[in-house]
Each structure stands twice: as structure tokens, then as C-alpha cells.
Structure 1
Amino acid sequence: MTEIIERPATTGPITAPNWGLTKFLDPLPIPPVLRPHSWWSQDMITIPMIVKRQRLHSELPESTLWTYGGHFPGPTIEVRSGKQLRISWSNEIDGEFPLAAVQGPLATAPASRPGRELDQKGYSIIEGVADLPSWTVVHLHGSRTNAGNDGWAHNAGLKGTSQLAEYQNRQQAMPLWYHDHAMAITRFNVHTGLAGMYLIRDEEEDALGLPHGDHEVPLIITDRNLDTDPVTHALTGQLLFKVPALPNGTLLPFTGPFNLVNGVIWPHVDVDARWYRFRLLNAANSRFYTLNLVDENNVPHNEAVRLIGTDGGLLPAPAELPSAGLTVAPAERFDVLIDFSRFPGQKLKLRNADPRLGGVEPDLMEFRVDSRAKHDPFTLPEKISASYTRLVHGTTLPEDHDHVWVALLLNAEGHPELWDLEQVEADPGGQGIIQLQDPNGGLKTFRMIGRVFDDTTGIFIDHDRWAVWNIVHVANGGPAHPIHIHLTEFQALFRRAFTTTFDQATERTTQPIDGFTDVPLEKYEEGWKDTIIVNPGQWVSVAGQFGGGTGEFMYHCHILDHEDEGMMRPFVVHPPEVAKFHVHPGGSHHHDG
């Protein structure tokens, strides 16, 4: 049996319009909750992928969406740590692909405007998107599971097929999420609505007495664009994938003018004057959010906010928000507490202060605090997770571990790439060379051994072994990349800035990268993560243990446009007893360094 809990939304008054839509008009919807139960040690449920027509705002016509179980976002799946769940993800999607996809010059028609602007602004249809079939594969992001259950990008299936996946859930309490991961079209499939949240619960979390029930709320944030009628210019409700193109034809990632929370544009929620727990997820294709809690005059009140968890679980102690707000990259999750008892009878907003807004409305949603005092059994504790251990070389991080080296860059055409690197004794000359003056290990020389997904696999890690991933963003400028590594939770060890010497034209460093400056980690960055922001001119080092599953997995940039266009590479986790018999290029079983 599967228990489905639907939570009704609340209602409220009209406020000011924006793009012809009234802000904070609609109540915040809460996705239905699936809590699988059985008398046996495992459960199995079926979640169909189906077409659904849904209003993204009550003043809009309905939008055609692809959904999990008829909901956008999909149902929140709640499980207990250690209790296995099997899901049959059933592709039952009918009809045409629901996106209108266009490209055009950024200078003449900003992609942050609704409508195609095909005639007067130089935009054109992106060929082939309208012809895409419903070809889907589900990745449970953050899950430790065998590779056969992980949503390998090439293993998507067409309508009438099912993906059978087994999730052991042998993980501490943490927020995961599920989304489509089909090769080359993830950005389009997720954009149609294929995403939802998955929560693992455990006894340590239970013992904290955190706000729960109606006082624990998922906030799944994303952005969209919408088409307009060519005559009336009214919004039609059709999803519009509108992206700018550079003069050389390179498409920039999607960002849209409409921000949605739980599938609704600019919603509001009525809250009691007490502590609430929000499970925050950035499910956008590429948009970063820098979040602040502000009053009606846009004055920040982040002193009422505490972070208690990240992608991989609970923090050791509550952390304050950074002074400029909490930056949340695509795929990152945060466990957030807000004390509304400080604001009886007031209205507050969740507001985006990210400098990459590009003129888009910064308000995301409104909180309407009840004026009556409420009894609140919750008191913010000084400590959150007693099981948390900070990774330190030689103690909690074993000395015997592997090193993986990855480069992020802009290639000769100005397109972002992700390279697997192999350490070599000396500079062999030619392209694809990165040299780095390691403060702890002298000169290191690396050559590129893979730059697109289907190149030779270059990373092999023994099951249950610890590995330190060194991610070096050598581009001269360019975007920050949120890097996601499947199978593991990791901790950031350090973040170092440097002046890059990488030359795009020759695709190599002109001299060894040196002159590193430590960039202090935010307190929450010391928590368990599976996605980490790597800025241009930075070397970020993370450490994780690769247990809980074996097989061939993926790591990639979680800007979905970048992932689809090449910034994704495979790696293998296999038993050490098998590794000695495995013959593969290079002859080494690990990336030691």
C-alpha cells in the first residue's frame, strides 16, 4: 500500500501585477506526499509519467506539462533510512513535445522576455525539439545505488516501457530529488516538468523535534518562459524554451522571466507565528538564486533564518546565512529554519539578489504571518547532528585515498568543457595540457584524456574507497559551474583562487598555474554535499567515499544546458578484487596523485 497525503493550499488577496500577472495572488501548492509502507523489508510502487494540463498562475491559460504522477513538481517521496524501495517509473506520455524552443541574438531580443519574437527580432525555431519523442530515464539525485538503478543517460526508454529501479536508502536523513536524465535532452525533459523531491528520514533527525507536518514545507524553485499570442501578445501558457545564441552559434543556457515555487508563479503562503522548516531545492536549468528573507520594504531579516542541512544531510550546528544572502546553484538543496514569531501580522518575501538576474523580477514568494501568538514546542538547539564528522587529512580522511583531477574551461570556440585529466611525468607538448604548481606537491602536469561523454573512460575507483576530487576552473572568465558527482556525498576540503594561464586558442596553460590564495569556505560548505559551485579561477577540492553501489556512473555540470552539450563524463566504481583483472587504457586502476 502507498499512503498519499494531499495538503490543501490557502487563499489570499490580490497585490500588484507583473508581466500582466498579479504577484502573490495564488496560494503555494504543496506536492502530494508518497509514504510507501508494507509488512516486508521492501516496497515497490509505480509512478507513471503522464501528460497534465496545469495552470502556472490562476490568470494564465493551462500549460501542457509532462509530469510524475500528474503533478508538477512530482510527489514528494518519503522513506526511512535503511528501508529499501523499488520504483517502476512507467513512461505513459502521449502527444507532442510540449515545448516551443527558439534561439536568437541576445542584443536585439533578451531571452528574459516572454514570446518567440520570430519575425521582428531575429529569433528562429530550434530545429528538432518539436519532434522529440517521450524518451526518459529517471535519476534519483544523491542516491547511493548500483549503477543499473542510477539513471544512466543512454538508458532512456520510450512510451510503453518502464524503468525498474531499486533504492537501498542506506543513507542518513537527507533531501534527495528525482529528475529526468536522458542523454542530450535532459534540459528539455526537465523543463517539461519532470522533477520531484525525495526525503530520507532517520532516528537522529526524529530526535531533534524539528518543525513537521504543516510546519515543514518543500520549496522547489525553478524558472520558466511562456509564449505569447502573435496578435494580442497575451501570455498563452505554452512553455517557451527561449535561449540566446552567440555569433558563432553557441547557445547560452536557458533562464526565464518567471520564477515558480512548487509549480506556481509568485505564490504566497499563510504561516503561523512560529518556527517553520523549509526543504529548499533549486530545480532550475541554469539559474542561480541568492536568497534573502525581506520585509515589505525589502529590508533583509536573515537573522530569523538558520541553515541546518545541505544536500547530504544535517549540519553539526545551525549556521547563519551569509551576509549577502544564500546562493543556491542548480541542484543544490538546503534545510532551512525560519522563526516567524518575530513578525506577527507582517508580510515577508523570499527575494533573489543574485547579480545574474538580468532585469528579472527578484521576488519569489510571499509569507503572510498570522497575527496571533502560537504555542511552539520547538527551540533551536545549539547542536544539530552529533554524527557529523569534519573530514581532515590523515584522521577522518584516510591517508590512503585516490586523487581525481578535473579541468573546467572554455574551448577554442568559447564553449564550456569538462576534461578528465591524467597526470604525466613531463609536458608532452600539443593541446590539452594543464600544469599546476601544487603548494603541497610540486609541479604537476596533466593531459586531457576525455572531453565529451563518449570518450574513453578515464576514472576508476575501488568500491568503498575514499577519493579526493580536485576540480580546477582554468577559464578566463566564463560561468561558474555547479559540479555534481553521482553515488557519493562529499565535503569541501578547500577553495583556492588563482590567476589562470589557460589559453583558449591552444587549449593549454602557457605556464604553470601558481599563486594560490585560500578562499574561506562558508560554514554550510563544510557540510555533506553532492553538488559544489566552482567559480572561474578557482581550485575546489572535495572528498567522498565511493560505497553503496558499483558500476559506471556520471559526473557533470548541473547547468543542464552544459550537461547536454558535453560537460558530462563517466567514471567506474568496482570491487578491488575485480580491479586487478580489469584491463583498460593507461593500465592504472586509480587516479592517484
Structure 2
Amino acid sequence: MARKPTQIFSFSKLSFSSGLSLLIFIVLLPAENAPSKSALQFFVDELPIPPVIRASGPPRSSARSSARSSAGSGAAPVEVIMTLNSFTTKIHRDLPEVSQFGYNGSAPGPTIEVEKGQPVRVHWRNSLPSAHLFKATKPMEMGGERLCNGGPDIRNVTHLHGAIVSQPLLLLPQNENVPAQTDNDGWPDAWNTPGQEQIANYPNEQSARTLWYHDHAAGTTGRNVAAGLVGLYIIHDDYERSLNLPQGPYDVPLALQALGVGNSSLYYTEDLSQEFYGNTVAVNGKLWPYMNVEPRKYRFRLVDVSNARSYGLKLVGTDQKTPGPAFYQIGSDAGFLENTAILNDPANPQSPELTIAPGERADLIIDFAKYAGQTFLLRNDNRDGKDGEIAVPWIMQFRVGQTVSQPDLSSLPMKMKEIPRLKESEAAQTRQIVLEQKTMDNGQLMLLLNGKYWKDEISEFPVLGTTEVWNLVNTTQDMHPFHVHLVQFQVLDRTPFDVERFQKTGEVDPLCPKGEAPCTQPAPPNEMGWKDVVQVDPGTVTRIIMKFSPYPGYYVYHCHILEHEDMDMMRPFRVIEK
């Protein structure tokens, strides 16, 4: 949507100090944070690794706490306590401590690691203060209710993104007299308040993959996530181990989160019609960190946990131009690809870069073996500045050492398990989901799905065990990362269409560039695996196919730009039994 920028972010002439390759930058802070120019240095904080709670398997050197049990049929659930709390922390060496929300005293929260088939029961205990870090955003109409002001200032419910869980009941906000409520999927209206607890059961009957958890309370998800309520969740299995991938200290999570940094505190957008891009990007909770790596292969689990910011990523040398090592993408949202996708190949100028949107994950291997003694910058090329987005072209730095501490015996697989393709001919139904922008009678803008509000009655009732094709018709000017709970899906294709004609007639008329046909583009190689988020480009019909199983119940689909979600770009659906 068209908006006026609320922050200004600019870079001074980039310069490097000898040896450390430090970039100097200037941040012009937003008006509400008493503007002043603050010169900070890039790459002075080492990349932190979030603490680990290991629910199964051997301990890792980075683990701070553990809850171990052996996986297997009928295994008892491992009980894990995750406390939502407030704390102060340093996000940059030269900035004062800032207040954040998080889990167990960290943001991102602890990474939960579990073996496939090992059930885990998480107690999400709300110990947050009664007042939020950020004041409620400008009220918006939400299907007749006032958005953000429609409940307590602090209300929370945690969703494990990508988890396949049962959700048999349509839950309501937790009664103040009820200390705990079972809510596996994190139903947006089933929020709790300080002193209460959400109990979630995760069967973990999924193959090895990287999931992540975050707040999902209706109307305030964006505020809560911007405050720090995110964390990672990793499932391991025997097939993953058979691939002989880099492991231990060479298996590294990278959670990218856009933050709004003021003079002495974090800030959030004051109006939901302005997506929250922030003015900086933290990696695992630190701004512009560096990582010392050995000249060998590393596995990086990259997760975009930002509210709205997408990234176009590649490695470059300190001259900001020389291409760095290639990205070998071995997995996406819901596990391994069938064929490794090569991105940012320095030997191929036409090689695509990695584009990742909110909610998406990319499982990468980067081989630094030929680059001993060199330094690389992780560059973000997704900075076109529209919608008030502030350019953040540099994310972090990699410093490659001269030697390895032990021989690199890990593998780089180019082919993995076959992924059976779902057949369109077996789809029981094809649905059209229109992503649209609407102007309310009071002049406010809303983002909707099929013209319906979150509070409207359920309109989609997929039958358990059946396959459906969903045509995602984007009539807006924004790219929307579209997420469906419960299921994993496959991306079929994308077709540009005549938006104006569609809005007049309801007909989807393909709009081929320069009149060339066909203009339908199949999914690229790194989208040929199982997904749970797909980038729906503006003026494009994106088609996905999915099977609704293994549980009946109540779930949601929504845009994963969190301000859009909070503005009603979220709808419930119910999976019914035959």
C-alpha cells in the first residue's frame, strides 16, 4: 500500500579500517525517538547462537538446558517450559541496553531441538508485564471491532510455524479464572494474559526440518513479534544424519529480524497501514554481527523472522563487488529439496540470488574451503525503498580463517530423496483466494482475503484427506508471503494477469510481457520442495496444491506480513471429516 515513510535511514560514504573491514554508517532516528546522528561500527559483535533446549538426542556444546528422552512409538512427551518475559539486552556493542520481550530471557528464544517422533509438550507461560513495550498502533476497523484496542494490552498465544498438530476446537480468549488452556496450533483468538499458560502438544511426526515459533495473537501479532517473541525449533531424523551434512558448530541458525532502533529503545510503527520494516536488521539478536568461520563447509539454517522485510542475499568481498562463495540450497520450509539448487554461483553471472520473505526458511551449505584468509559481507539487494522501506544493504560479515580445527569430512549432497508431485487431476476442488485492498467508509485501508474479515464466518471447509488447488490472485501492489497452517504444499506456477480487467469482470486474463506466450512460469528449483509459505507477487496468480491431512479441525491461512495479518488479511478454515 502507498504510505509516507516514517523513518529515515542513510549511509555515509562506506569506508574500511585495515584488517577488520569495518563499515561506518549513520542512522537518522525517527522523530519520536529524539533524532540525532549516531555513528556506529559494523561487525564489532560476534554472532551469538541462541541457547538450545534439547528434547532428544546427544547434547551439543552450545546447549544451556536440556530435556532428553528417546524418540519412538508411544514415547512419552518431553515437558518443556518456555516463559514469555521482559528483559534488557545489548543488541550492539556501542548502544545502551534495550528492553525486549522474549522466551526464557532471550530474543530469539531458545532453539528447541527434537528427534522425529518424539512428542513434546510445551508450557508457554506468560510472565510479561502488564504494559507493552510499544503503545498500541492506530486503531483500525476489524470486521466491526476495533483492532489492537479490542483486548488487553498484553495478550499472547504462541504458534509453532510449520508444525502439523491437531486443533479440534474453536478456542476463545482464555478466561481470567482459568490458569492454563490447551491450544496446539496457537489459535489467534485464544490469547492469554500474564499469569496464564498455553499448553501445546507437538507430535513431531515430520521429517527433518527447521520450524520457528512466534506470537500469533489476533490484532497484535506485529507488535509482539517486533518486541522479540520469536525462536527456532529443529526436527532431526535418521535420513538427515545419513546425508553427512555439516553438524555441531558447523550447523548454524541465522534468524534475520528487522528492528526499529531509536536512541535508547526499540520502536514499532504507530499505524498498521505502514508495514514495519524497521531501520536495522539483527541476526540472532545482534546488529551487523561478524562470524569467524574455518575454510570448510558450513550449514546455515536461514529464517526470515521479520514482520515485513524480505531479503535478496548474496556474499561479496570487502570491495562490495567481488562475488563470494555460492549458496547450495538443500532445503526450504518443510524439509529437504529433491535436487540441490545453486544460488549466487560466482562462475555463473546469471545465477539467481536467494530471495527470502517473512516466514520462509532456506537450508544452505556454503563452502569456504577455497577462501582461506578472506572476508565476505552478506549483502541484501532487496532495497527498492517503496512503501517507506529503509535500505539495509549489509547484514553480517564472515571472516574466513587460515586453517581448519579438524578435517572436513562432511558432504555436499546434490540429490536427495525423491519428492512425489501432487497431481492436479486428483484435486477434489480448486479454490480462488483473492488478495485485495479495500478502503473503509472512514477512509482507512484494509487488506482482505476474498473480501472477508477475520471475524466473518468460515467459508472454506476442505475435506480431510483430499487434495485441493488454491489460486492466489494478488490484485494489490505488494508481494504477500502466503502461509497456510496444518499443511505443507507444493508451488505449481505463477501467471501475471490483467488486474484492472479482473476487478471489472472477475475474469483472470493472462498478461504476457511484450505479448509473448506462454507467460506462466513454473516454480524455480529452490521452490520444488515442500513449502508452507509462498511469495505471491503483485498482479500475479500463484497456484499451490496441498493435501489436507492428517487432522480435522480449525486452522488459519494468512499473509505473513504481520501488519497485513493484523489488518485482517487472515481467514479461518475448517478441515471436516467425510
Same fold (TM over 0.5): yes
1:100, distance to aligned residue in structure 2 (A) = 5.5
> What does 1:92-241 correspond to in 2, within 5 Å?
92-99=127-134, 133-147=153-167, 148-227=183-262, 235-236=263-264, 238-241=265-268
1:380 paired to 2:412: yes
> What does 1:418-437 correspond to in 2, within 5 Å?
418-420=448-450
Counterpart-to-counterpart distance in 2, 1:388 and 1:80:
21
**Which of 14, 35, 46 is residue 27 of structure 1 equivalent to?**
46
1:41 paired to 2:76: yes
1:512 paired to 2:488: no
**Any conservation in 1 of the 2:221–2:566 contact (CA below 8 Å)?**
yes
1:296 paired to 2:302: no
**Any conservation in 2 of the 1:100–1:240 contact (CA below 8 Å)?**
no
**Any conservation in 2 of the 1:156–1:182 contact (CA below 8 Å)?**
yes
> What does 1:453-472 correspond to in 2, within 5 Å?
453-472=454-473
Q: Which amino acid aligns with 2:305?
A: A
| Structure 1 residue ranges without an equivalent (≥5) | 1-11, 104-125, 228-234, 421-449, 577-593
1:538 paired to 2:540: yes
**Any conservation in 1 of the 2:325–2:368 contact (CA below 8 Å)?**
no
CA distance 1:458–1:64, shift in 2 (3 Å): same
The match for 2:112 is 77
Q: Which amino acid aligns with 1:455?
A: D
Counterpart-to-counterpart distance in 2, 1:356 and 1:254:
15
Q: Which amino acid aligns with 2:402?
A: S
Counterpart-to-counterpart distance in 2, 1:81 and 1:186:
29
**Any conservation in 2 of the 1:101–1:242 contact (CA below 8 Å)?**
no
**Which of 418, 421, 428 is residue 390 of structure 1 equivalent to?**
421
1:410 paired to 2:437: yes
1:548, distance to aligned residue in structure 2 (A) = 2.9
CA distance 1:299–1:550, shift in 2 (3 Å): same
Instruction: Out of 44-53 and 150-159, give the one that drifted further.
Output: 44-53
The match for 1:348 is 376
Counterpart-to-counterpart distance in 1, 2:510 and 2:100:
50
The match for 2:14 is none
Instruction: Out of 281-290 and 32-41, give the one that drifted further.
Output: 32-41
Counterpart-to-counterpart distance in 2, 1:502 and 1:192:
41
Counterpart-to-counterpart distance in 2, 1:300 and 1:279:
24
Counterpart-to-counterpart distance in 2, 1:259 and 1:563:
21
**Any conservation in 2 of the 1:46–1:87 contact (CA below 8 Å)?**
yes
CA distance 1:469–1:174, shift in 2 (3 Å): same
SS at match of 1:30: coil
Counterpart-to-counterpart distance in 2, 1:287 and 1:132:
27
**Any conservation in 2 of the 1:49–1:93 contact (CA below 8 Å)?**
yes
Counterpart-to-counterpart distance in 1, 2:552 and 2:40:
49
* Number of equivalent positions: 490
SS at match of 1:342: coil
Alpha-carbon displacement from aligned partner over 1:432-468 (angstroms, at most 9, x marks no partner): xxxxxxxxxxxxxxxxxx5110111100012222221
SS at match of 1:563: helix
1:203, distance to aligned residue in structure 2 (A) = 1.2
> What does 1:319-358 correspond to in 2, within 5 Å?
319-321=341-343, 323-357=351-385, 358=389
Q: Which amino acid aligns with 2:529?
A: G
Q: Which amino acid aligns with 1:418?
A: L
Counterpart-to-counterpart distance in 1, 2:577 and 2:483:
23
**Any conservation in 2 of the 1:14–1:25 contact (CA below 8 Å)?**
no
**Any conservation in 2 of the 1:332–1:531 contact (CA below 8 Å)?**
yes
Counterpart-to-counterpart distance in 1, 2:461 and 2:317:
51
Q: Which amino acid aligns with 2:52?
A: V
CA distance 1:128–1:454, shift in 2 (3 Å): closer
Counterpart-to-counterpart distance in 1, 2:287 and 2:229:
17
The match for 1:591 is none
Q: Which amino acid aligns with 2:335?
A: G
**Any conservation in 2 of the 1:254–1:286 contact (CA below 8 Å)?**
yes
Which 4+ runs in 1 deviate beyond 6 A?
126-129
CA distance 1:127–1:21, shift in 2 (3 Å): farther
**Any conservation in 2 of the 1:274–1:376 contact (CA below 8 Å)?**
yes
1:509, distance to aligned residue in structure 2 (A) = 2.6
**Any conservation in 1 of the 2:314–2:353 contact (CA below 8 Å)?**
yes
CA distance 1:513–1:127, shift in 2 (3 Å): closer
The match for 1:574 is 576
Identical pairs, percent: 36
Q: Which amino acid aligns with 1:468?
A: V
CA distance 1:95–1:157, shift in 2 (3 Å): closer
The match for 1:430 is none
SS at match of 1:372: coil
Alpha-carbon displacement from aligned partner over 1:109-167 (angstroms, at most 9, x marks no partner): xxxxxxxxxxxxxxxxx9978x9632110000001101241000000000111001101
Alpha-carbon displacement from aligned partner over 1:277-317 (angstroms, at most 9, x marks no partner): 00000011001110011111122536522000000110012
Counterpart-to-counterpart distance in 1, 2:354 and 2:297:
19
Counterpart-to-counterpart distance in 1, 2:390 and 2:463:
48
Counterpart-to-counterpart distance in 2, 1:572 and 1:295:
50
Counterpart-to-counterpart distance in 2, 1:501 and 1:181:
34
The match for 2:399 is 368
CA distance 1:58–1:355, shift in 2 (3 Å): closer
The match for 1:16 is 23
The match for 2:563 is 561
**Any conservation in 1 of the 2:246–2:411 contact (CA below 8 Å)?**
no
Counterpart-to-counterpart distance in 2, 1:188 and 1:56:
18
Instruction: Out of 545-554 and 56-65, give the one that drifted further.
Output: 545-554
Instruction: Out of 264-273 and 544-553, give the one that drifted further.
Output: 544-553
**Any conservation in 2 of the 1:172–1:313 contact (CA below 8 Å)?**
yes
Counterpart-to-counterpart distance in 1, 2:196 and 2:306:
27
Alpha-carbon displacement from aligned partner over 1:487-531 (angstroms, at most 9, x marks no partner): 01100011111121258xxxx434622135212421111111000
SS at match of 1:38: coil
SS at match of 1:48: strand
Q: Which amino acid aligns with 1:486?
A: H
The match for 1:444 is none
**Any conservation in 2 of the 1:288–1:356 contact (CA below 8 Å)?**
no
**Any conservation in 2 of the 1:43–1:85 contact (CA below 8 Å)?**
yes
**Any conservation in 2 of the 1:304–1:342 contact (CA below 8 Å)?**
no
Counterpart-to-counterpart distance in 2, 1:214 and 1:509:
56
1:527 paired to 2:529: yes
Counterpart-to-counterpart distance in 2, 1:344 and 1:461:
54
**Any conservation in 2 of the 1:308–1:319 contact (CA below 8 Å)?**
yes
The match for 1:60 is 95
The match for 2:478 is 479
> What does 1:211-290 correspond to in 2, within 5 Å?
211-227=246-262, 235-236=263-264, 238-242=265-269, 251-290=273-312
Counterpart-to-counterpart distance in 2, 1:13 and 1:511:
58
Q: Which amino acid aligns with 1:372?
A: T
**Any conservation in 2 of the 1:305–1:320 contact (CA below 8 Å)?**
yes
**Any conservation in 1 of the 2:316–2:324 contact (CA below 8 Å)?**
yes
Counterpart-to-counterpart distance in 1, 2:283 and 2:402:
24
